[in-house]
């Protein structure tokens, strides 16, 4: 409110207008709304346009050591008869905001629907997500590895690179 009252439209990259705070609706003939990344890029006042559609702009520049550590974590955490032979599903259920909490029963429903795909399950998140994540891992029919609170965010990103599908809501691991 203060920024709008003062007539400030953008304060150090902080969007203050309705146009900059909201994603644009789908153009005619499309069902896709503007991505959050595009909205954020539009909100920044930079001398050049950010090309959010270029995958190289999303590269975290993980080091060879981080990628190697992720492979070691997976190799050590998944039984040797399964590691490298079964595709992996990544999951992160934690959130700092209760409104984004999808609920244990909803996650169980999704996982029950995915059991037929014969995937290993990798759970990432914060230490406070560990117990809830473990109940999902225990309900999974295949190999499951709960890494919540055990690895850093960058190592989580390196682990996520090894999954064929990653499910989460609007939270840290998504970004």
- Is 173 a residue whose pLDDT tops 80? no
Tens digits of residue pLDDT in 65-119: 999 999 999 999 987 777 778 999 999 998 888 888 888 899 999 999 998 899 9
The single residue listed with the structure tokens 């032979």 is 85
Long-range contacts of 102-110 (CB under 8 A, 24+ apart): 102/169, 104/132, 104/135, 104/136, 107/136, 108/136, 108/139, 110/167
Note whether 10 and 16 are within 8 A (CB): yes
Residues of the chain above pLDDT 90, percent = 53
The pLDDT score that the predictor gives to residue 48 is: 82
Tens digits of residue pLDDT in 114-157: 988 999 999 999 999 999 999 999 999 999 999 999 999 999 99
The pLDDT score that the predictor gives to residue 45 is: 75
The residues near 100 (Cβ < 8 Å, ≥ 6 apart) are 169, 170, 171
Long-range contacts of 115-118 (CB under 8 A, 24+ apart): 115/140, 115/141, 115/142, 117/87, 117/89, 118/86, 118/87, 118/142
């Amino acid at each position: 409110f203060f920024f709008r009252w003062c007539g400030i439209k953008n304060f150090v990259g902080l969007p203050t207008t309705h146009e900059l705070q909201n994603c644009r609706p789908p153009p005619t003939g499309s069902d896709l709304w503007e991505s959050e990344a595009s909205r954020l890029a539009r909100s920044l006042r930079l001398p050049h346009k950010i090309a959010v559609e270029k995958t190289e702009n999303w590269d975290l520049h993980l080091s060879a050591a981080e990628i190697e550590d992720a492979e070691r974590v997976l190799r050590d955490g998944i039984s040797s008869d399964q590691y490298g032979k079964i595709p992996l599903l990544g999951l992160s259920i934690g959130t700092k905001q209760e409104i984004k909490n999808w609920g244990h029963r909803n996650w169980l429903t999704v996982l029950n629907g995915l059991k037929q795909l014969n995937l290993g399950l990798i759970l990432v998140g914060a230490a406070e997500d560990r117990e809830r994540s473990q109940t999902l891992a225990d309900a999974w029919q295949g190999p499951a590895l709960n890494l919540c609170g055990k690895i850093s965010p960058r190592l989580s990103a390196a682990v996520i690179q090894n999954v064929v599908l990653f499910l989460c809501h609007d939270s840290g691991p998504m970004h």
